[in-house]
Structure 1
Amino acid sequence: MTRTVPHVEGPGPIPGPVHGSAPVRVPVVELRDVVKEYAGGVRALDGVDLTVGEGELVGIVGPSGSGKSTLLHIVGTLDRPTAGTVAIAGHDVAALTDRRLSALRARHIGFVFQAFHLAPGVTAVDNVAEGLLYSGLPRARRRRLAAEALARVGLADRTGHRPHELSGGQKQRVAIARAVVGQPDLLLADEPTGALDTASGEAVMELLHALNQEGATIAVITHDTEIAQRLPRTVRIRDGRVVADSARGKDVV
């Protein structure tokens, strides 16, 4: 995938990657012994180690209460761990102020959620253009890039449609276009087929596979083991721990 990244104010001088010698795949996500603890000593994450390399398509799967949502928030830099090391695109999250962390998130991470989160009454092209709101680009340029992103997900003929005029599958495609319009290093898809019928869900997963083939690094967070098993790599989480990782060829614990 050819990357033409719009200008976004960067997080400034940031300590370099926390990894050691360069692996075969450049790490986009690196978690080392990550703990997330809440009041009362409840550990949502308990010593998680996870590396996602550039160009990977990985499913993170587990039942309700397993820690998937917390892991999403940590990887997406929406929350900070209680302990451990988190690096995104080579940047140590602990070294960043909230402002610089927001800039890192805007530049490097795209989000797709089960509920779409599209602005009602706003056209598809303008919903997608919102993904570039903090890019510093003029509105006309943002809309042109948004139209290109919609064409990329098969919605070139729906740019002027509003959410109530779109099917569930089309709404999710708009959400995916919004997430990838800035060509982030990482796309996080949280239960992307959860609100869709089977056919629409299949189409969305085919799209994610196609984006990955173009070079996108994608993590799909899901409770659906069937979806996860069809991805090149599956990471299973239970009780806040990674219990299996197909990249290792065996159970972790």
Structure 2
Amino acid sequence: MRNVVKEYAGGVRALDGVHLTVEEGELLGIVGPSGSGKSTLLHIVGTLDRPTTGTVAIAGHDIAALADRKLSALRARHIGFVFQAFHLAPGVTAVDNVAEGLLYSGLPRARRRALAAEALARVGLADRARHRPHELSGGQKQRVAIARAIVGQPDLLLADEPTGALDTASGEAVVELLHSLNREGATIAVITHDTEIAQRLPRRVRIRDGRVVADSARGKAVVR
């Protein structure tokens, strides 16, 4: 992201000149209070929204230069999402919920389900593949959501308050899982208001009033 600004009606600036680079293999926390611009940042990095001004490049592609269809293809190929709400289809098994992450891949159903089973094993849920959401704990549901996000092997995993709906023990397990996936090579950005979670991540970026005010990768506060 280079000098990214996002304005809404009425002149409200949700992002105000953001510079941010995430390198391959990083695990970072993007932290800030409610209203700081974290969600807007997530939507723009995830190509769910476009900046008003500034440049955003994902895997070498300038998103401003892409038509909506190509942008959707970029998102499907390069980005995985994990949200606070699990967004699992009720009445559908865990393996089929995960396989939905490959729905637009062009792969046959049997191959999608095989890859989904591998992703569930990767997050420690091989024995829950045929369970439905109502048969899973909150922590297990979030693991299914993470498996769905990584099944297509995206370049970047965006986790938005991934422990927000979980009890302490389940939240701890999810954080450990994110660390494990990062050790395996995944690039992960965790958007959170929880400073304790952020402190456990190798890099911490703090946002306030739509600006990056601190970045541990630079070793000091960002002066503006």
TM-score tier by shorter-chain length is: over 0.9
Question: Partner residue of 1:184?
Answer: 154
Instruction: Indicate which of 35, 47, 66 corresponds to 1:96.
Output: 66
Partner SS state of residue 29, structure 2: strand
Instruction: Indicate which of 213, 218, 221 corresponds to 1:243.
Output: 213
Q: 1:64: how far off?
A: 0.2
In 1, Cα distance between equivalents of 2:31 and 2:214: 10
Q: 1:194: how far off?
A: 0.2
What runs of 5+ residues in structure 2 fail to find an aligned partner?
none
Q: What are the superposed Cα offsets for residues 109-143 of structure 1, whole Å, 9 maximum, x if unpaired? A: 00000001000100000000000001000000000
Q: What are the superposed Cα offsets for residues 84-110 of structure 1, whole Å, 9 maximum, x if unpaired? A: 000001100011000000000000000
Give the share of equivalent positions with the same residue, in percent. Answer: 92
What is the CA RMSD across the aligned residues, in angstroms?
A: 0.3
In 2, Cα distance between equivalents of 1:191 and 1:123: 24
In 2, Cα distance between equivalents of 1:106 and 1:233: 26
Q: 1:183: how far off?
A: 0.3
Q: 1:219: how far off?
A: 0.1
In 2, Cα distance between equivalents of 1:153 and 1:95: 36
1:134 matches 2:119 = no
1:229 matches 2:199 = yes
Partner SS state of residue 51, structure 1: coil
In 2, Cα distance between equivalents of 1:108 and 1:143: 20
In 2, Cα distance between equivalents of 1:224 and 1:249: 20
In 1, Cα distance between equivalents of 2:200 and 2:126: 28
Q: What are the superposed Cα offsets for residues 149-194 of structure 1, whole Å, 9 maximum, x if unpaired? A: 0000000000000000000000000000000000000000000000
Partner SS state of residue 236, structure 1: strand
Q: TM-score, normalised by structure 1?
A: 0.88
Question: Partner residue of 1:207?
Answer: 177
Partner SS state of residue 22, structure 2: strand
In 1, Cα distance between equivalents of 2:60 and 2:218: 22
In 2, Cα distance between equivalents of 1:225 and 1:235: 11
Q: 1:61: how far off?
A: 0.2
In 2, Cα distance between equivalents of 1:165 and 1:92: 42
Partner SS state of residue 247, structure 1: coil
Partner SS state of residue 107, structure 2: coil
What runs of 5+ residues in structure 1 fail to find an aligned partner?
1-30
In 1, Cα distance between equivalents of 2:53 and 2:25: 28
Alignment: residue pair count: 223
Q: What are the superposed Cα offsets for residues 183-226 of structure 1, whole Å, 9 maximum, x if unpaired? A: 00000000000000000000000000000000000000000011
Q: TM-score, normalised by structure 2?
A: 0.99
Q: What are the superposed Cα offsets for residues 57-104 of structure 1, whole Å, 9 maximum, x if unpaired? A: 000000000000000000000000000000001100011000000000
In 1, Cα distance between equivalents of 2:18 and 2:197: 22
Instruction: Indicate which of 9, 17, 21 corresponds to 1:51.
Output: 21
- Structure 1: which 4+ aligned runs deviate by more than 4 Å? none
